[in-house]
């Protein structure tokens, strides 16, 4: 069995090539469906990781477990209901990470069940990578739903705020990245992210419990 740090890096590389492009594609796809041609004109309606790759964000994935891709640009003026539609565009990004984590944990449970039936150390590296992929995706989801501009959570919350409050929040958007980096470098963000990740992981464990039961019955 390889060290956890090695397997986490391998999982991070896979995330950079798959989950991050899916996250940004989801934003672009929803914006396109809601009437904004900007993502399509910038050729961002693709899962090609090269179109979405951000070197600094990718590096953060490898060393910190959470990072980002190159943001998809969206023009709110093309939406019929700008605040509501922007919230929908923002929400599908974290949702894609949740779905990715759910699928990855389902694969983890299947691989674990097969190992239960046919014991072999060959499965252990696969289990490690799948587990870390699920956790990293939940970290990404948890990070993005925080209501700190320019994260997706600020746009989701913005749809429910009074107009004056929303405008005030948006005025501070340019300082949001500074606040976010401060929270990351001072390690103050791991508490909220860890709490959200743990709660959602419990929910996913519940959803995938039938897979465990199938293999327990087969083994029994």
Enumerate the active-site residues: 24
8 A C-beta contact, residue 24 and residue 98: no
H or E stretch covering 122:
none
Q: b vs e for 177-208, b when ≥16 Cβ sit within 10 Å of the residue's Cβ?
A: eeebeebbeeeebbeebeebbeebeeebeeeb
């Amino acid at each position: 069995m390889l060290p956890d740090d090695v397997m986490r890096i391998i999982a991070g590389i896979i995330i950079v090539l798959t989950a991050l492009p899916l996250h940004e594609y989801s934003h672009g796809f929803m914006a396109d469906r809601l009437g904004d041609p900007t993502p399509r004109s910038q050729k961002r309606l693709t899962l090609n990781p090269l179109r979405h790759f951000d070197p600094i964000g990718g590096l953060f994935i490898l060393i910190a477990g959470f990072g980002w891709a190159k943001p998809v640009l969206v023009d709110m003026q093309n939406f019929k209901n700008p605040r509501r539609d922007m919230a929908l565009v923002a929400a599908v990004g974290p949702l894609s990470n949740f779905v990715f984590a759910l699928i990855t944990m389902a694969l983890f449970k299947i691989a674990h069940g097969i190992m239960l039936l046919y014991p072999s150390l060959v499965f252990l590296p696969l289990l490690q990578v799948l587990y870390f992929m699920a956790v990293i995706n939940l970290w990404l989801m948890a990070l993005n739903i925080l209501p700190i501009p320019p994260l997706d959570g600020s746009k989701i919350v913005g749809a429910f705020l009074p107009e004056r409050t929303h405008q005030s929040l948006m005025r501070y958007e340019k300082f949001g990245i500074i606040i976010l980096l401060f929270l990351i470098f001072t390690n103050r963000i791991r508490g909220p992210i860890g709490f959200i990740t743990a709660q959602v992981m419990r929910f996913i464990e519940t959803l995938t419990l039938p897979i465990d039961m199938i293999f327990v019955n087969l083994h029994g």
